[in-house]
């Protein structure tokens, strides 16, 4: 991506290209497709891929969460999970009452049928209706429980990855690095020297990083401010647009149940 100081056109996508200096030697670089466009000529110079990789590696080093912050976030997530479980208790109880009512209706219907008080066609129709409602109710209960469990697992996995993102990225082969980048970031802005100027995180990392950044700046949960100062700047610089944009954060509400499979080699 173009940076804001790169000259027109800004914020354009770049493409990966290759140039051979000798028959046996070639190098790869990122270049704006509009650089050779006569109608809209881009003045931005090409950037060697090695510089971009070094810039992204440095970004992962800066945004990685220290272990002390991860522990704090894990406690916060568990508290939110407990609150969400309590909030989901009433719908679960209501579903249970619905199940009891349906069971009672089914028992009454069967007794009436065996007493020849209900025609066979009516019995079959009512039994089918009750069975469908009972299956739907059980599915609703199971789905609610599974969603909470899935969210908790996704957040736990995300915390583990966020704490070691630099090591994961450094050790990964090229094709896995691409998947890691897609899992962490919606967009990355690259400057002409290959460093990262700005970025936008995906969820749940944007929410987790915002929680972590807040804890680091405030020294909350008993964390000493002098220790937090050594952790670095999570946002890169003051102009870094994250996907949070200053809004309040509820980590659980922001988690998509798609997980983040691209982050696991």
**CA distances for 150 relative to 45, 75, 91, 97, 176, angstroms:** 45, 17, 18, 25, 24
Q: Give the Cα separation of 61 and 165 in Å (integer).
A: 8
At residue 262 the predicted structure's pLDDT band, cuts being 50, 70 and 90, is very low
Q: What was the pLDDT predicted at 212?
A: 62
Q: Could you please report the per-residue DSSP string of 115-177?
A: TT-S-HHHHHHHHHHHHHHHHHHHHHHHHHHHHHHHHHHHHHHHHHHHHTHHHHHHHS-HHHH
Q: Give the Cα separation of 189 and 59 in Å (integer).
A: 11
Residue 31 has φ and ψ, to the nearest 5°, of -145, 145
**CA distances for 57 relative to 29, 52, 100, angstroms:** 17, 9, 57
At residue 25 the predicted structure's pLDDT band, cuts being 50, 70 and 90, is low
Please report, for the chain, the start and end positions of each structural domain, with discontinuous segments joined by +.
1-45, 50-75+162-263, 76-157
Residue position matching structure tokens 């109608």: 39
Residue 196 has φ and ψ, to the nearest 5°, of -90, 125
Question: Residue 197 has which token pair?
Answer: 């100027």
Q: Give the Cα separation of 43 and 66 in Å (integer).
A: 40
Task: Give per-residue pLDDT as tens, 2-19.
Answer: 443 333 334 455 555 555
* Residue of higher predicted confidence among 207 and 226: 207
Mean pLDDT of 195-214: 77
Task: Give per-residue pLDDT as tens, 129-163.
Answer: 888 888 888 887 777 777 777 777 777 777 887 78
Instruction: Kindly tell me if the per-residue pLDDT of 108 is higher than 50.
Output: yes
Q: Is 88 exposed, middle or buried (0-12, 13-18, 19+ CB in 10 A)?
A: middle
* Residue of higher predicted confidence among 180 and 147: 180
> CB pairs under 8 A, 24+ apart, for 44-47?
44/2, 44/6, 44/7, 44/192, 45/192, 46/17, 47/14, 47/190, 47/192, 47/193, 47/194
**Whether 32 contacts 14, CB under 8 Å:** yes
At residue 258 the predicted structure's pLDDT band, cuts being 50, 70 and 90, is very low
């Amino acid at each position: 991506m173009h940076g804001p100081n790169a000259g027109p056109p800004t914020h354009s996508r770049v493409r990966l290209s290759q140039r051979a200096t000798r028959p046996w030697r070639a190098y790869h670089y990122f270049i704006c497709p509009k650089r050779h466009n006569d109608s809209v000529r881009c003045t931005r110079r090409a950037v060697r891929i090695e510089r971009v990789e070094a810039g992204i590696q440095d970004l992962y080093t800066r945004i990685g969460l220290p272990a002390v912050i991860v522990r704090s976030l894990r406690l916060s997530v568990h508290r939110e999970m407990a609150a969400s479980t309590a909030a989901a208790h009433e719908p679960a109880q209501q579903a249970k009452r619905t199940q009891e009512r349906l069971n009672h209706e089914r028992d009454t219907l069967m007794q009436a049928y065996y007493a020849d008080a209900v025609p066979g066609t009516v019995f079959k129709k009512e039994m089918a209706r009750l069975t469908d409602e009972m299956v739907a109710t059980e599915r609703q209960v199971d789905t609610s429980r599974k969603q909470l469990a899935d969210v908790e697992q996704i957040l736990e996995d995300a915390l583990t990855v966020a704490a070691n993102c630099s090591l994961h990225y450094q050790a990964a082969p090229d094709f896995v690095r691409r998947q890691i980048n897609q899992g962490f970031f919606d967009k990355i802005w690259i400057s002409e020297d290959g460093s990262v100027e700005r970025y936008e995180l995906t969820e749940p990392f944007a929410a987790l990083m915002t929680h972590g950044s807040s804890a680091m700046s405030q020294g909350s949960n008993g964390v000493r401010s002098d220790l937090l100062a050594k952790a670095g700047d999570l946002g890169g610089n003051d102009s870094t647009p994250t996907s949070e944009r200053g809004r309040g954060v509820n980590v659980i509400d922001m988690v998509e149940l798609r997980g983040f499979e691209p982050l696991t080699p």
